[in-house]
Amino acid sequence: MKTGTYTGKIQLMFRVGRCLILNSLFVMMFISCTGQYKGMPREEVLAYHTYSTYGELYALAQAYAESINAAVKADTLHPGMYADYGVVLAQMGHREAACRMLNAEMLAFPESRGQVMRVKQSLLPELMGNEQADRTADTAQLARWAYDSISALRPLTAVASVIDSSDREWISQQTPTDSVEIPIRLTANQKREMLLQEQTEAERLRKAREDSVAAAKQAKLDARKQVKADKEKAKKQKVKAKKQADKEKKRLDKQRQKERKRQAAEKEAQRKQNVKGGGK
């Protein structure tokens, strides 16, 4: 009886141990899978679509390079990754590199040829027709090259305020002109502040626009009032002139009447004189 219970306990312990080992194996497999494969860097893509700064573009390029590298290592390449990376590189001004990435997309996914050729034509028209160049290269090599190409730009990761001297030297070496574009990876608060600033600016512009519209409206109203007043004045003047003319007419009429009366009186007097003279 005792032996039976011991056997049961041992069996139970064995089962529990087996379960634990199997579970840990599953967990390890899951962790290893998730650690290797990175999908599309959606966080960076959304950030770039929302804020569209050079810093976001640079972060996006880095994320794509890392994703491609990890994906090729895990042998699970996401469709459209090379093409997207090519577009990012073209926007950053690395035209040759962009061309290689677009060619790599066509190589990895032949069904993408039509679409990628159209994208290439719009972005890199001068590099059309060199698709044969990368035909021999394998995707792993291209991914390594992509990763290295973006790694070469590593010193450009500093925020403007905390760039150390070595970075400044590097920037001055890279760009002979004074116009240095420093990519800045913004924090969430900085992004929010930037958005708020943009909104405030938009608000200010809107107010200014509203003010100008109101001023124009007022000016229009004033002009209309002025025209109305002018019309009133002209009307009054017309009435006054008419009254004046009437008065003048009356005066002239009176004068003419007086004249007529005077003439009639003169005629009467002359007639009387003639009658007296005839009598004599």
Partner 1 sequence: MKRALLLLLPLLMVVGCKGPKKMTQYNEVYKERPSTIYIAPISDRSERHPMRTLDDSLYNASLNTATKQLFLTASDPLVFNGYYVLGPLASAQLAATETRTGKQLRNDNINDYYTELGIDAVLFITLYSWSETSSSWSADIEYVLRSTRTGNEVMHVFVKASKQLPTDFKGNPKPLGADLDFAAKYGCDLETAQRCRLVEIVNQFVLRDLPSGSRSRGNAVERYVVSHPEYFNLNINPSGGVELLKSNEN
CB atoms within 10 A of CB 44: 21
**Taking a C-beta distance cutoff of 8 angstroms, is the pair 101, 83 a contact?**
yes
By CB under 8 A, tell whether 176 contacts partner 1. Answer: no
Query: What tokens does 246 get?
Result: 């009437």
Token look-up 């929302």 returns 50
By CB under 8 A, tell whether 188 contacts partner 1. Answer: yes
Chain-centroid distance, C-alpha 75: 38
Longest dimension (CA), the chain: 196
Q: Shortest Cβ distance from residue 196 to partner 1 (Å)? A: 8
Nearer to partner 1, 199 or 237 (CB): 199
- Helical pair 2-36 and 54-74, crossing angle rounded to 10 deg: 130
Residues in region 101-130 near partner 1 by CB under 8 A: 109, 111-116, 118-119, 121-123
Nearer to partner 1, 152 or 188 (CB): 188
Nearer to partner 1, 74 or 171 (CB): 74
Binding mask 56-85 for partner 1 (x = CB under 8 A): ----------------------xxxx-xx-
Distance in angstroms (rounded) separating the CA atoms of residues 208 and 75: 57
Which residues here bind partner 1, judged by CB under 8 A?
Answer: 39-40, 42-43, 45-47, 49-50, 78-81, 83-84, 86-88, 109, 111-116, 118-119, 121-123, 186-188, 191-192, 195-196, 199-200, 202-203, 206
